[in-house]
Amino acid sequence: MAQEITTKQLRKWLLVYAARIIENEDHLTKLDTAIGDADHGVNMRRGMGKLQERLQVERQSEDISAFLRSVAMTLISGVGGAAGPLYGTFFLRAATSPTNGSSIDLPQLTQMFRYGLDGLQQRGKAQADDKTMIDTIQPAVEAMEAAVAAHQSAAVVLAAARQAAHLGMKHTIEIEARKGRASYLGPHSIGHQDPGATSAYFLFETAAEVLTITGAD
């Protein structure tokens, strides 16, 4: 269990995440047009553009906490809409989780996501089944915690997170929105996938792709 994840890998992860969001801008816009104010795609693309710029500039930062804080600051002022403070809080809180300086082991990575999730819940005051990004992130974090407790490898832990996140995202199709702009629609929100849950899913999809590769550039 000596698998350590470095700041460099986290940077790579978020670069891949930013690119994935930008590729999916139209998809996110379409989802948000159905049940929201159609701005999630545009807001996230703008935020991810800022994030890419920041990640290019901040190549030297080694300390994980400082790196995550910098990501958070970029998202808070770069995204707009509810996603700005929410993703900002996620990374801001993640930055307060314990690290080994410039690397984290798998339990610490899991804890980092847990801190982020707890922060997110405090900020947005959403619970599971409210049809929000919590419906993706909470089951993913729980799956990671279970896999880590069973001493699984990084690949297995992150695959479990990705799968749980995917199920959670799809589950938002079946439920009624109780938070955010979509909640104004009441039962009419049923049948549509939540855009925030979708952008949050890509966090775990890209983590599973990038963070399992030891020594990724």
Interface characters, 5-34, with other proteins (x: CB under 8 A): ------------------------------
Question: Per the structure block, which two tokens stand in for 7?
Answer: 């700041």
CA–CA separation, 3 and 214 (whole Å): 8
Closest separation in Å from C-beta 166 to other proteins: 26
Question: Per the structure block, which two tokens stand in for 216?
Answer: 């990724």
Site for other proteins contains 79 (CB under 8 A): yes
Query: Hey, is 5 helix, strand or coil?
Result: strand
Binding residue for other proteins (CB under 8 A) from 25, 49, 80, 102? 80
First CA to last CA distance, the chain:
21
Site for other proteins contains 136 (CB under 8 A): no
62: Cβ contacts below 8 Å, ≥ 6 apart: 7, 101, 102
Stretch that binds other proteins, among 61-69, 86-94, 191-199, 203-211 (CB under 8 A): 86-94
Contact 216, 200 (CB under 8 A): no
**DSSP of 99-131, one letter per residue?**
--SSEEEHHHHHHHHHHHHHHHHHHH---TTSS
Site for other proteins contains 49 (CB under 8 A): no
Binding residue for other proteins (CB under 8 A) from 9, 40, 88, 99? 88
In this complex, which beta carbon is closest to other proteins, that of residue 162 or of residue 179?
179
Adjacent-strand bridge partners of 6: 103
Site for other proteins contains 124 (CB under 8 A): yes
Site for other proteins in 158-187 (CB under 8 A): 180-181
Site for other proteins contains 81 (CB under 8 A): yes
C-alpha separations of 32 from 59, 117, 180 in Å: 33, 22, 11
Site for other proteins contains 77 (CB under 8 A): yes
Residues that bind other proteins (CB under 8 A): 39, 43, 46, 73, 76-77, 79-82, 84-86, 88-89, 123-124, 180-181
